[in-house]
Structure 1
Amino acid sequence: MRLTTNNKVKRRLVLGLVVLLAIVFSSKAGQLSTSMMTPSMVDICGEFENSVEIAASGIFNTQNKTLTNVVANIAINDTGLLVLSAISQPLGNIAPLSYASVSPVWDIGCNENGAGSYKLWIVYIGDNFSESSYEDAFTIVNVHGSPPIVMAAEPDGYVDSHNVELIVITDKNAICRFSQTDTEFSSMPYLIEGEGVMHSYTLELAEGSHSYFVRCADLNSNTMQNSEIISFVIDSIVPAVVIISPTSTTQAESVVLNVSTSEEAECKYSYFDRIYSQMEGSMSGSGLTHTATLDLDETTSELYVRCMDNAGNIGTAHTDIRVGSIPSVKIEFSEADNKISEGIYEVRVVASQNLKPTPKLYYTFDNTDIRRAISLEGSGMNWKGYMIIQEKSNYLVGSFEFEGFDYYGNKGTQITSGKLFVVDTLAPPSPIDLVAERLDKKRVKLRWHYDGEEVDEFKIYRSVDQYVSYAHLQATTETESYIDYVNESTQQYFYRISAVDAVGNEGELSNAANVTINGSESRKIELGDGSVKTIFLPESAVAKIDLTQKDISKLKLDLELAKSNLNSKVGNEDECEALLGLIPTISHSIDVVEAADTELRVMKYSELSVEEVERRVENIRKRVDELQAITPVELKVEESIEAHKIITKSDVAESLKDLQLDLSDEELDEYIELSYTSLREIVVVQEVRVVNVEYLDGSSRRYVFVFERTNSQLADLESLMVIEAIPKDVVESASEIDFITLNYRVIDDDPLIRFNADELVNNGITYIIESGTPIEDYKRIKTVILYDYDSYIEYSAVTKSDFGLLEMTGWIGASAGKFGFSATEALMIALGMITIVALLLYYLFVVMRIHKRPRLAKQSWGEYHELATKEIEAMSKLGGEDSINDEISKIAGETKLPPELAGLDIKLKSTEAAKVMETTEASEAYGRFKKLLENIDLMLELNDFEGASQVYVKLMKSYPELKRSERSMVYKKCAELHKRISVSKLFTEK
């Protein structure tokens, strides 16, 4: 603990008084003796404890008289120690020749700046005596100093100024130094100003991160052993702010504000030009992208965005947004549920806002493209017109189309409700299998079977004779049974039933059924074809069959509606439906339901037992329930993203690593370089769609469609392959993937898939995954295009052979491996090239000397150089490629030609290294190519070398279009023409 200044003064006064009394009473010494003080020596402070207990023991009265009111006082020879407890300890009376009953104890602490050694002893004071233990009992206390502690250091975090002040605050007076590396105090080069507790140093620093190490020492040279680190970042650059969207007119009531910044920042927005702290709108995201949802009014708004980086620098962006909602309408019919039959119907149009001029309304049917107009009258938001229906159809689906403008000129076409209606002008089929059963003399139970569209009611007709017509209406019911109350005195009743649909269409009357009230009961019924069938099943069994048939009829209608709904899908949803094969699935379900209905119909007139009927009905219900779990009713594309992938060298290397090819490191590097250099410009477009499919039982499944394609032009497709690496958190195994693209091979179930390159270019790659993985994870799918491994092996074998000319020229071996030539074929090509080079040299130096000896004899080395330079330029115009310099030098050494002339033959050959595609049938391109060859021959015969050169350029551009077999037929001819044109241009230009 620390003492206040007043307490220190008081204790020092007491210590002085004790010493003074000891001097005054020194003449009476020898009355008390002290055996020992413990500890006799102790170290405190610094790396030791900050305080210690000092105790005296063996205090003995050497007199033959009692010493009264004895007090023990601790004495110190300097002020470097503090007495933390009471200085005076009362011992009371001490009997003659006896020990004191009390052993005094004092708590001793070190002074703040009191490092050194101190002696402590006891001064006893009583009535008329004093005694000191200075000589025989004392304690030596060694006080060690402690280094200063850094209480605070600044700056910390981000600083927006290049002029930075380092501030260090210590717990006591100290001297502080700093450096950019962690070293001992004496080696630190920079002294921080200030010898008290506050220290500062000003630096002029550049933008970026900075760290400094600080150590301090107090005035007694107690030095910090560990550095205090001051770390901060200087950032004075205002972040660039870009409003991505919205940037102009929008017609949505709410939009998403998207903002990007050049560095990490926090953004706010306001419709007024305010400072950052007063902006009312906060945006999510503290990185480089920031979003917020804006609720907009129908007005023109100014939008201000300010973003503050970690150092407090604020950037600003501004845009104007014109907001206007798109008008929409609701369509209402005079009939409920939008179900109508023949007749005239009023159509009401209710708009979401005032419309001007008069909106337009049309309707079409799903069986025709004819669009019929409905004339409207009204104003503002309310309009009406009339529609005349004459079509004869059962469940003909119609739809409305709307077009209107609000006062701002915004065009609306959306119909929010009432867009579809159903026209039903056909009467439902008549009920069948009508049965009349007498319950007693007053009641008759009627039951029948109905298999058709959903009806609103059944009408029951009754007569006392067999001629029952529409004039004999007795009652109506909504169920397929009815209890009729009859007159018991009537001998017989005849019944017929008709069905009435929701729009009032009434069908034909059913077969007649009669029942005898007063006479013998009949169990026979008349069937639709006029025959009579005896019922063997009990009524309870028939009722169960009837109930199941009714449920199946409703299910069949649901399936038809689901099929119609899926058939109406367009765009992406239609494509996804076709790939999943949902409509065929529904068609199969309809077939199963119809088969079950037929089975029930036959069962009703069978001679089965009640138990067997119940068992079969239950099996049918189970099949129907299982059917609902796999029958789709709705498909929606919930979200989709599109990404453009560029092949990187690391992607190529990683894909080859996954392939685990048996290649050396050198071969692998060569393979990577070949694939990356040739294919790095290719862009693969990936589209991912998340599709939710709902099923008849209420369940749903989530399918993810992956479409990949490229618009890049790729030649020699058969020498390329596509490697698709799919992360395991997207799909665990390749067996879980439904590949729509059939030409694929699973390299690794991890999964790693190989596709043919022609699939990517011509048809695109498509596969489906049933997964709940977020759509963003699919961006991590890597698609890499590589040269086919087998083609590379042949290429490597040829280029590394001992055929000197292949290594000399380079392009022959590369073409051989790349285009599938064997080593033997490559050798033959090399030998052919040697022959051509020899002939060319012979022509240049023998034949031409004979015919142009006078001119050649006068040509100097400079003229040769100029001539060769012109030839190189001519070859570049013909589409030739540069050869490797050392190969040119090698030929120059062997032929004694200047390097420029030695390189000509290589340049001539390089333009013929076209890619080869395997095929056998002749193409239209081959015919055009042959025609160009003939034209060049003719021009050369006429000495039209410039025209031949121009046609040859065109010839070489069309060369890649030829098939492999066609190229092999024209290869030698092209090489011959190339040399003839080159030699001709060489001497004509000279």
Structure 2
Amino acid sequence: MKNKLIALLVMLLIVPIAYSASIELSVPSTIMQGESETVSFIIRTDSLFNGVVYLNYNNIDSSVNSVAVTNTSFNGAGPYTYGFDWNVKGITPNQYIISADLRNAAGATLATNQTQGLVESSAPLILSKSPSGTITSSSATLYVVTNEDATCKYDSVNTDYDSMAKTFELTGETAHTQNLIDLEDGTHNYYVRCRDSNGYKMGESAVISFIADLPPYAEISLSDPSPVKAGTIEVTLLPSEELEESPVLEYSFESSPGSKRLVSLTRYDDLWKGYIIITDADDNKVGTFYFSGKNKYGSVGDIIKEGKTFIVDTTKPPVPVNLEAISKENGKIELNWYYEGEEIDYFKIYRSTSSGVDYLDYYSETGNTTRFTDSSTEGKVTYYYKINAVDIAGNIGSLSEEVYATSNKESSNGEIKNEETPKVLPPNLVIKVNDEIKKVEKLLIDIEAISANFENGENQGLISDLGLMEKVKTAKTTLENLNIQLADLKLNYKTESELDSELNKIDLEIKKIQQTTPKEITLIEKSDSIQSLGQENIDLAIDKLFMNSDFSLIDKNNYKKQNKVIQDNIEVLITVYSFDIEFIDGQKEEKTLIIKSVSYKSSEIIKDVILFEIIPKDTAETSAEIDFLTKNYEVVEEDPIVKFGFSEVDFSGVEIKYIINKRVSVSNAGK
């Protein structure tokens, strides 16, 4: 009986069930080309079933090609219905056809339906657009081609046609152009929509995207603005953008344009600085700078927008003539003179209470005028004067002939009245100031010689890495300021004790300059090598990195494995300089400069990098013995262990620089 029941059940499963079904399509008679339209179908049946509706299209674009139907899809209690709608787009202006084939789970067709309509021309279609990729100019032309005559607009933000801010310069037909100027470096996106003559507007924007990679340019400025006089001139180069490597700056004179001279540059944040030396032999020459720089995209620029040329003027202005000194009322003394020659900036006045006035007796200055009134005089004192001219380039002319006059200011009982207290330093104290000026002037001459030696001597790379030219420049600026202070002392009344106090301060500044300003550098030894990275030191560095963290031992081991892959592509080139520095006061210091160039030998870029430097004890006992030239560092242990942070490391590499304040064997320092 059991076997019969099973057989009966099997027979029941294969007996077909008869039922009727239909499918109806509902579509618009007209579909606008390129725009979404909603279509639908509805199934009617007297019995529930599982099946599939297969959809076919002619001149229609749609992602819906079939729709599954199950027993639970239907509504009602019999007859049953099921409806479905979806979106389609017309492809080209012509007839379109949509057909539906309803099949059951066994694949048998239960019903079919087909309908048709028209695809009409609607919004314009953009067939092509440009530019794209990378351009190397600050100007570009937007170019669009449409399938029909249209008016096109564009904007930097994606919005509808009516809200777009700008219309193409040339538009109304099928070709549309718009010129763009003053483009900046970076990615530029422009959104374009068009409207045809029937008023149909594009519902979606076409995007024109490109990268502007403009060649870098430079602006040049001089510490002594053109026209320049003889001496050491600081040159500052400001690039228009971040450069991939050090720029090249050269200059030549028009008399020999083929003989270019290289300017050694050092980076200071966004600027590059170097020095040129102008001699008397360069007088009346026109100099021209030449620049070359490469940005991170590889574009090379050579344009100098400001400061490309400079004029040299080393000729001293002529001597003023017919100088006369006239005593006036209230003790004033008036100077008058005649000057004929090149345009001058101002005149310098020199004064003394004894004959033999020279440059150390500088007293005051006046503008581009041939008259000066000295109001700071003492009664019955004879004053001696000379003057000279200073031209626009700063050249100081020779002193004039000497003249003198006696102040007729009245005094009481041989003493100066209170209201006539001298406004300038008494003549007997001016001598002390002049002696101090001689010290400063001599030291300035030494500084100029040191600057020229560093600029043209050997070991240029070492001088640049140590920033020695900057130290010399700082000393020169300080001395020039001291000269100004000393000149001011002669213009203001002080007692002898007050003056001595001021001169003692200046003496201390001079001594400090002599102790800290480098005079000469002597290279003792240099070594280049490749550092081998021992696993023991790598593990130690990783342990220091995870020190005081809550990472588990498993996390640390996983990190070590990942780091091992990176370490295999790391190369460290070591350059070690052992050298002596002699300062102006004759003292010497022994030092060692260590430069490590770390590069990643892969096409990839490592982001957020921490480099650990474990410095051997025989190189430095503690971090106190080290001056770090690479500033993004942190001392992990005084042992010393130091870490440096970098935003990224790639094939071009990064540098770590530090100075050991003693002489170290280059073989030990290169470990």
Measured against the shorter chain, the TM-score band is 0.3 to 0.5
TM-score where L is the length of structure 2: 0.38
Give the helix-richer structure, 1 or 2.
1
Name the structure, 1 or 2, with higher relative contact order (CA <8 Å, separation 6+). Answer: 2
TM-score where L is the length of structure 1: 0.27
